[in-house]
Amino acid sequence: MRTGIILFMLALVLGVFNHSVLRKEQTISTGRSILLDLAPRDPRSLIQGDYMQLRYRIAEQVSGDQLRDKGLLVLSTDSNRVAEFVRLDVGEPLAPGELRLIYRLRDGVRLGPDSFMFQEGQANTYAAARYGELKVDAAGQAVLIGLRDSSFNLLTPVPSKSSPE
C-alpha cells in the first residue's frame, strides 16, 4: 500500500514535470521570436543562483482602466523583430504582422518572465543586455530564451571562468 502510493506519486511527479517541459519546448520550437526593449536592473536567489531582474519598456507604456488581472496585449514587430505595443486585445482578429502576448497585472503590468538567470560569475556579460528575446506561441504564452545587446547580438557566457570578486 505504502509502496504503491510512493511509486504512484513518483510517476505523477515525473509525469507532471515532463508535461510542463514539453509545453515549454513546444512554445520554443513553434513560437514566433520577438525582441522586447529592456530597462535592466541583480541579486542571488536562494536556490537558483545568480539572476538579473528585467523590466520591459512596453510594460511601462501600457496603462488604463481596461486592464484586467490577466489578459492579452497586441504587439507588432519591426524589421529587427523589436516589438511595439499596439492595443489591448479585446478579441478582434489580428492584422498581419501582429501577435498576442499574455500580461498579468501586478504592481503595474508584468509581461511573462521578469528575471533572467545565468551562470554564476557572468554578471558582466549580461550587463550589456538591451533586448529580451521571447518565443511567443499562438496563445500568447512566452518563453524568454536569451538577452541581446543594442546591436542585436545574442549574449553568450564567456567560456573562461571569470574569477568572482
Partner 1 sequence: MKQSKLLANLVSEGVLDPDVRDRIVEQNRQPAESDPIGIKILAGIGGWFAALFLLPFIGMIADSMNSGIGWLVSGIVLLVLAILLRRKTQSTFPGQLALAFALAGHLAAVGGLVEGLSNRYEWVSAILAHAVVMGAVYPFFNSGIYRFIGALALGIMVTLWVIVELDAFPLIHALIAIETLTIGILMQERSRHPSLNPLFVAAVCMLPATLVFMDVTQMDSWWHSSFRGAIWPSSLIVAAGLVTLFVRIAGGWGSLRRPWLLAVVLAVILLGLFTTPGILVAIGLLGIGFADQDRLVSAIAFVFLPVFLVFYYYTLHVDLAYKSAVVTASGILLLALRWGLRQLQPAEGAS
Partner 2 sequence: MFGPVLIVLTYMESHDPTARIPWIEALAREGLLSETAQDSARRHIRPASAWHAWAQNLLLMLGATLVLAGVVFFFAYNWQAMGRFLKFGVIQAAIVACILVSLRFRDHALSGNIMLMAACMLTGVLLAVFGQTYQTGADAYELFFAWALLITGWVAVSQFAACWFLWLILLQTGTVLYWVQVAEPLHHTPFETLCIGIASINLLGLIAREIGSVMGFAWLKARWHRALLLMTLLSALFIPTFAIILDIDDSSATRLAAAILWLIGSAGAGFVYRKLLPDMAALSLVVTNACLMLIVLLGRIAFDQVHNMEAFIFLLMAVIILGVVSLATFYLRRASRAMHAEQPERAP
CB 164 to partner 1: min, Å = 5
Q: Find the binding residues for partner 2 in span 53-92 (CB under 8 A).
A: 69
At 152 the three-state DSSP class reads: coil
| Cell numbers representing residue 92 in the block | 478582434
87 binds partner 1 (CB under 8 A): no
Considering only residues 136 through 165, tell me which ones interact with partner 1, judged by CB under 8 A. 161, 164-165
Q: Which is nearer to partner 2, 98 or 121 (CB)?
A: 121
Least Cβ distance, residue 44 to partner 1 (angstroms): 7
Contact between 107 and partner 1 (CB under 8 A)?
Answer: no
DSSP string, 99-141: EEEEEEEESEEEES--EEE--TT-HHHHTT--EEEEEE-TTS-
Question: Strand 49-53's sheet: what is its strand order?
Answer: 44-45, 49-53, 115-117
For partner 2, which stretch binds (CB under 8 A), given 5-13, 30-38, 75-83, 89-97? 5-13
Choose the contact partner of 165 out of partner 2, partner 1, none; CB within 5 to 8 A by kind.
partner 1
Q: Which of 96, 73, 81, 86 is nearest to 36 (CA)?
A: 81
DSSP 59-101: HHH--STT--SEEEEEEEE-TT-BEEEEEE--SPPPPTTEEEE
Sites of contact with partner 1 (CB under 8 A)? 44, 49, 120-121, 161, 164-165
Which residues are near partner 2 by CB under 8 A? 2-3, 5-10, 12-14, 16-18, 20-21, 24, 45, 47-51, 69, 104-107, 110, 112-120, 122, 143-145, 156-157
